[in-house]
Amino acid sequence: MSDKWNTRTRAVHAGTRRSQYGEVSEAIFLTQGFVYDTAEQAEERFLQPGDDEFIYARYGNPTVRMFEDRIAAIEGAEDAFATASGMAAVNGALTSLLKAGDHVVSSRALFGSCLYILDDVLKRFGVDVTFVDGTDIDAWRAAMRPDTRAVFLESISNPTLEVIDLKAVAEIAHSVGATVVVDNVFASPVWSRALELGADVVVYSATKHIDGQGRCLGGVVLGTREYIRKTLEPYLKHTGGAMSPFNAWVMLKGMETLDLRVRAMTDSATQIAEALEGDARLARVIFPHLASHPQVEVAKRMMERGGTVLSIDLKGGQAAAFRFLNALEIMTISNNLGDAKSIVTHPATTTHQRLSVDQRAILGITPGLVRISVGLEDCGDLLNDIQQALEAV
Ligand SMILES: *Cc1c(COP(=O)(O)O)cnc(C)c1O
């Protein structure tokens, strides 16, 4: 790969490893193991595998390595490790780094499974976790301690799309020597340069925009070579969170169109948010780059565009939200995001059902809130679909 290549070129070509057959499309090496010519070679490889040498697919695989190298090239990271799912990535990134007695500061508005790792798993193993309102920079500063080992945040929260000033949080965290781990799913690799903004470790659920067509689970952790190979890899290769070579191939192909897809989806999401803003039937329209967004100024510094997801709050509460969902003809009711198909979610009764009414209220997850992941359909058709469903309410 040339250092001069821009992101879109990297997304198509970076990381390619051609076999002796000279295939155009990346090969799927659907193999668990690798053979050695001699016993001596096996011994040597176990001692220290070379750059293009593999031992066992739980440790690494050529197709998986292609995916890791390609996403690292796009993100501007020294290295990457691919995982079976986004949650294997979040768990690996944190667990490999922490030990009993460490302190972690985390934003409060987290994806349910991330909250489980921070609030349940880590605490059970003796890690002290302090939760803060991620948009409150003074709260981050106040929570930091000399023994704070890591900071965790989702750069944009789900489903209320709060934007965290990553640059400010990273400066505070680095002042006590803490590692900044960022779940950057909602911002996507296209619109956010989390490493440049100060993140040390960036995590993606590849299940979302990177696949982008609802097929495979996957995840990836990106960071320095030192962190990925010395801290993360030993943990992940022995605990079994490896990505399947088949899924890595799907993700590789997804990367080739990632930029185009995310741009088109963002265009539509922006247009829909602007069209709905001020609609009398809605209490709120939430989209990071709308002038009415509480952190619009931070959002514009953190991300080049507003992303592919918006949330709307129907004035009639849950009954209105359900009628709206059920009346949609193009958009489907599901819980994924970043997909070519537009997807609507009612967080209060699905993804955030397990939270108490009070917890939901703190996070702004009202009964009328609907999350819309905008897909690749014709934007005019999507707007008509939303309008007819609002009328049906
Ligand atoms: C989906 C998601 C995850 C988990 O990813 P999986 O691939 O489903 O394991 C983690 N964080 C965020 C913000 C997500 O949206």
Q: Residues near 342 by Cβ (< 8 Å), separated by ≥ 6?
A: 330, 331, 332, 372, 373, 374, 375, 377, 382
Edge-first strand order for the sheet with 343-345 is 282-286, 309-314, 369-373, 343-345, 332-333
Residues in the chain where the model's pLDDT stays below 70:
none
**Atom 6 (ligand 1) nearest CA:** 86
Among 203, 208, 238, CA closest to 223: 203
CATH number of 7-255: 3.40.640.10
pLDDT attached to residue 384:
98
Helix runs in the chain, H state only: 7-13, 39-47, 62-75, 86-95, 112-116, 122-124, 137-143, 166-175, 188-191, 225, 233-239, 245-276, 296-302, 317-327, 357-363, 379-392
Question: Where in the chain are the domains?
Answer: 7-255, 258-392
Pocket residues: Cβ below 6 A from ligand 1 = 85-87, 90, 111, 113-114, 154, 158, 183, 185, 205, 207-208, 217, 219
Instruction: Tell me which of 107, 205, 308, 339 to substitute to probe ligand 1's pocket, judged by most ligand atoms within 8 Å of the beta carbon.
Output: 205
Instruction: Tell me which of 118, 204, 207 to substitute to probe ligand 1's pocket, judged by most ligand atoms within 8 Å of the beta carbon.
Output: 207
pLDDT attached to residue 25:
97
pLDDT attached to residue 1:
73
The CA 336 to ligand 1 mean position distance, Å, reads: 9
The CA 49 to ligand 1 mean position distance, Å, reads: 31
User: What is the 3-state composition of the chain as percent helix, strand, coil, each rounded to the nearest 5?
Assistant: 40, 15, 40
Length of the chain (residues):
393
pTM above 0.85, yes or no: yes
CATH architecture of 258-392: Alpha-Beta Complex (3.90)
Q: State the closest ligand 1 atom to the C-alpha of 219, by its place in the atom list counted from 1.
A: 7
Q: State the closest ligand 1 atom to the C-alpha of 218, by its place in the atom list counted from 1.
A: 7
Q: How many CB atoms lie within 10 A of CB 325?
A: 18
Q: What are 114-149's pLDDT values in tens digits? A: 999 999 999 999 999 999 999 999 999 999 999 999
Q: State the closest ligand 1 atom to the C-alpha of 89, by its place in the atom list counted from 1.
A: 9
pLDDT attached to residue 354:
86
The CA 205 to ligand 1 mean position distance, Å, reads: 5
The CA 53 to ligand 1 mean position distance, Å, reads: 31
pLDDT attached to residue 146:
95
Instruction: Give Cα separations from 98 to 93, 110, 111 (angstroms).
Output: 9, 19, 20
Contact 209, 340 (CB under 8 A): no
Q: What CA–CA distance (Å, rounded) separates 87 from 154?
A: 13
Contact 92, 241 (CB under 8 A): yes
pLDDT attached to residue 3:
84
